Structure 1
């Protein structure tokens, strides 16, 4: 959810009247061992020097608003890592691409732990 929210914000902020249309693309992939979520947008992308820092608690590129900022990507990274995965960001010619990956065995364990008899 956080990846999609961020992508919508980035695409909208980069779009001006007369420019190309803003867009967000979400792709879900699954195989026997992992689940992968890929979110692409038409925003400005992420500066290469910030590609690791964007996942740090408290880091934000957004103007300060009410409430705490800079926790969404940090929490997303934490969830991925706790489920045997990772998250990364790369720039494409059209904007940013975030890829979140988790292993299926970790996800199945989490579901089983949360189940009540």
Structure 2
């Protein structure tokens, strides 16, 4: 679907919402604090209007809650928490001086002999 087709579809939805509320374009414009030409442009899908004006019109139509349907809050992914502010994730390891020198493994002959 093209951007223009989406504008037309959204315009039709705003028109229907206005009609459902029984408002004239001028009434909606006054209630939203925008120009009538903004309401007309939005409903006709001829040109894009600013998001701030769309929010004002949604508020005037008492449909501001519909923004959650438009773009719900995305869940936080654990990887995004680790890479906050573009920090590269690092593997945790002990510093060389913190590592303990261990003796090499030796087979306990008394255990091996008892298994025979």
TM-score computed with the length of structure 1 as normaliser: 0.24
Q: Which has the higher helix share?
A: 2
For CA contacts below 8 A with separation 6 or more, give which structure has more relative contact order.
Answer: 1
TM-score computed with the length of structure 2 as normaliser: 0.24
